[in-house]
Amino acid sequence: MNNTKTATTNDRSSESFLQVLKSKQMSALWVTQAAESPAARGGLPYPPKLWRGGEIEALMSWATELVQPGPEAERRVLSLANPNGGTLTAAVQMVLPGEVAPSHRHTPAAIRFILKGSGASTITNGEPCLMYPGDLILTPAWSWHGHVNESDGPMMWMDGLDAPALRALRAGFVFEEYPEGGIQPATKSPGDSYNRYGAGHLRPLWGQASSRVSPLLIYPWKQTEDALRNLAKVDSSPFDDVAMEYTNPVTGGHVTPTIGCCIQLLRPGTHTRAHRHTTSAFYQAFRGSGATVIDGVSYPWEEGDFLLLPPMAWHEHINSSSTEEAILFSITDAPIFEALDLYREEQR
C-alpha cells in the first residue's frame, strides 16, 4: 500500500479534503450531486430552436461569395449549431453548377434530404446517387463520398450526422481524404443500390445477409410520397398524424445504427396530441406551414424552416392550413436510444 501525504495532513477540513481530492483527479459525489439542483436535473438539457429557411438561404447565398468547395473548404456547409450538445447535427449544404465537393470518408454516418435543385450527384463508394427534391440519400459510416453538380442550377440539401453523439462517446472522428484527390470515379451505374433493393419488398436471392448498414443508398421521393398517401388512406397516429420511418431493407429496422429518418404528413387542419420521449429530433419543414408546440411554446414554421426538438420535451404538431398538406422530414436518435435500452415515451 502507498503511504501518501494526503493521509497525514493536519488540516482535516472539508475544504482541504476537496482540494486534495481535486489534486488527485477525484471528486466527492455528495458535493458534485448537490451542485446539480433537482430542478436542473428535471429541465430540458437544451432549449428548442427554430431556424428560418429564408435566412439560411440568404446566408448560403452569401457563403457562395466567400468560399468554394475544394482545397479551401471541404464542404460549403452551414451547421445548425446546438451549443449545448446533443446527439445529432443538422446542416445545410449547397453545391453550385460545375462545383465539386471532393470525396472523403469519416467515422460519422450521414444522411442527405434533398431540398432544392435537380440532378447533381453524391457518389458513395462508387455509386452515383442523383439528387432530386424529397429524395433521401444515405452515406453510411466510413464510406467514401463526394458531391458533383453537373446540372445547371444550384443544388441544396439538408445534412444529418451523428457526429455529436460520436464525439460525446469519444468514438473519435477519423477523417480521410480520397487518396487520389478530387471526386471518386463512378464504378457503378446510377441507382445501383436502388435497382437491387429499392422497389418494394423483394431482395436479390444472393443478396447480403442481415446488416446494420443499409445496402440501399437512395430512397426516391416518388416512393416516399406514395407511401404517405397510401398510409393516409387507412391510418394515422394521434401524436404524429401520417408518419413513417424509412427502413433498412435487409432488417426492417432503422436506416443506420445511429440516425433514424422519418417523414410525416400533417393533413389540413391537423392538431396532434402531445407526447414526449427520450429521443430528440431535427425537423425540416418540406411542404406547407404550421407550428409545433414544445413545452407550451408555439414554434410556427413554414416551408424551408428547421426546428430542433430537445429530448423529453412535450410536443404537438399543427398544420395551420385547412386546405393544404404539410410535410415534415426529421432525423432522430431513436436508433441509439433503442440500442442502449434507453427509449422511453410518455403520452399526455
Stretch that binds a copy of itself, among 146-154, 171-179, 282-290, 320-328 (CB under 8 A): 171-179
- Shortest Å, Cβ 268 to a copy of itself: 20
Binding to a copy of itself in span 125-164, by CB under 8 A: 141
Q: Which three cell numbers stand for residue 339?
A: 440500442
Are 90 and 159 in contact, with CB atoms under 8 Å apart? yes
Neighbour order of strands in the sheet with 345-347: 297-302, 289-294, 315-319, 275-277, 345-347
| 116 is a contact residue toward a copy of itself (CB under 8 A) | no
Other C-beta atoms lying within 10 Å of the C-beta of residue 271 = 14
Would you state the torsion angle of the CA atoms of residues 157, 103, 193, 117, taken in this order, to the nearest 10 degrees? 30
Are 100 and 183 in contact, with CB atoms under 8 Å apart? yes
Stretch that binds a copy of itself, among 113-121, 292-300, 316-324, 337-345 (CB under 8 A): 337-345
| 96 is a contact residue toward a copy of itself (CB under 8 A) | no
- Contact track, a copy of itself, 45-84, x by CB under 8 A: xx--x-xxxxxxxxx-xxx-xxx----xxxxxxxxxxxx-
Position 54, amino acid:
G
**Pairing outcome for strands 155-161 and 89-95:** antiparallel
Candidates 10, 35, 38, 179; binder of a copy of itself (CB under 8 A) is 38
Binding to a copy of itself in span 274-313, by CB under 8 A: 278, 280, 302, 304, 310-312
Number of residues binding to a copy of itself, judged by CB under 8 A: 134
Candidates 153, 172, 182, 185; binder of a copy of itself (CB under 8 A) is 172
- Report the greatest alpha carbon distance in the chain: 78
| 317 is a contact residue toward a copy of itself (CB under 8 A) | no
